[in-house]
Amino acid sequence: MSIRPILETRHAQPTLEGAGVKLHRAFGFADPSELDPFLLFDDFRNESPADFAKGFPWHPHRGIETITYVLSGTVEHSDSLGNTGRLGAGDVQWMTAGSGIMHQEMPQGDPNGQMHGFQLWANLPASLKMTTPRYQDINSGEIPQIIDDDGAVVRVIIGAFWGRTGPVDGIAADPQYLDISIPPGVKKTLPIDTYRRAFAYVFEGSAAFADASAPAGVLLEKEVAGEEVNIRDMSGNRTLIRFGSGDEITVQAGADGVRFLLISGAPIQEPVAWHGPIVMNTRQELLQAMNDLRNGSFVRPAH
């Protein structure tokens, strides 16, 4: 077994999206090979409806899949194919944009006016860029939850983990998407498939992640069972940790415990031509998408 080294840590940066929604972006619109097959990750967490009420009005998607996971509040969604729905706390939606879809998402706060959720974009390989669009809307109760003997809790949203399999299926990136909560002071070793790119996103509490490479800048060193272990203290509140290769990560929760997403997927390793919510392989394909938007043929499934 080999612990994955920590390649990078960063704090999500505030930005505006949609009609003026305030959110924090952990990555996106930079180097698409960095976390291939994933392109973008946003954390939309607000306590004031004025910061999110205008939502994400009609916009196009092509060539990607979007994964929306709601923790509090609700998200009303609809699209140009006539689909409508409502995501509540704990629900997840996986949308395969494929050949093209016009989509809108309108968040609403919980009874206290609070809204919190995440959106992840996953790339599609060239062979599936123009596939027929589809939705998978998953209710919170359908998501397996594992409670370990030490009190750690894992929600298996996508993929297989500890003998349980998440309800979302048929996804090109073959991802694993886990919501993990670890009680104060508890140390866990978590497996990850060696061939996947992986990152963690800490959004509550804090933790120390073992770093196999012990790079310069390690913030904390401890003696554990007589063996020196190099770890980094990762305060929560929107921290991204990008891992190198290996088949496990080790994490020890801080004094207040920790909650984080652990996400991994198989790299696609294809050229990326990207313009806003449209991601293709070549510039010519991007130009064709723009032309399809102008002439009204954007949302027609490929034949």
Q: Do the domain assignments include residue 293?
A: no
Contact between 131 and 104 (Cβ < 8 Å): no
Contact in structure between 251 and 239 (CB atoms under 8 Å) = no
Instruction: Look up the domain containing 176 and give its range.
Output: 6-265
Q: What total number of domains does the chain contain?
A: 1
Distances (CA, A) of 283 to 34, 124, 142, 212, 290: 20, 16, 40, 40, 11
Judge whether 189 lies within some domain. yes
Is 277 domain-assigned?
Answer: no
pLDDT value at position 217?
38
> In whole angstroms, what is the distance from residue 209 CA to residue 200 CA?
10
Task: Give me the phi and psi of 292, to 5 degrees please.
Answer: -65, -35
Is residue 78 assigned to a domain? Answer: yes
Q: Which residues pair with 274 in a beta bridge?
A: 279
Q: Which residues pair with 205 in a beta bridge?
A: 258
- Give domain status of residue 204, yes or no: yes
* The pLDDT of residue 232: 55
Q: What is the pLDDT of residue 176?
A: 93
C-alpha span between 299 and 95 (Å, rounded)? 14
Predicted TM-score (pTM) of the model is: 0.90
pLDDT at site 216: 38
Cβ atoms within 10 A of the Cβ of 215, count?
13
| Cα torsion 180, 195, 281, 240: sign | positive
253 inside domain:
yes
Q: What is the dihedral of CA 197, 241, 169, 100, to 10 degrees?
A: -90
Q: Give 111's contacts (C-beta < 8 A, 6+ positions apart).
A: none
Is 289 among the domain residues? no
Residue of 104, 123, 103 whose CA lies nearest to 63: 123
Does a structural domain hold residue 294? no
Burial zone of 296 (CB within 10 Å; 0-12 exposed, 13-18 middle, 19+ buried): exposed
Residue pLDDT tens, the chain, 303 long: 799 999 999 999 999 998 899 999 999 998 999 999 999 999 999 888 899 989 999 999 999 999 999 999 999 988 888 888 899 999 999 899 999 999 899 999 899 889 999 999 999 999 999 999 988 889 999 999 999 999 999 999 999 999 999 988 766 778 899 999 999 999 999 999 998 999 999 999 999 998 766 543 334 334 334 343 445 555 567 899 999 999 999 999 999 999 999 999 999 999 999 998 999 999 999 999 999 999 988 886 444
With pLDDT > 90 as the criterion, what percentage of the chain qualifies? 70
Q: What is the CATH number of the domain that holds 194?
A: 2.60.120.10
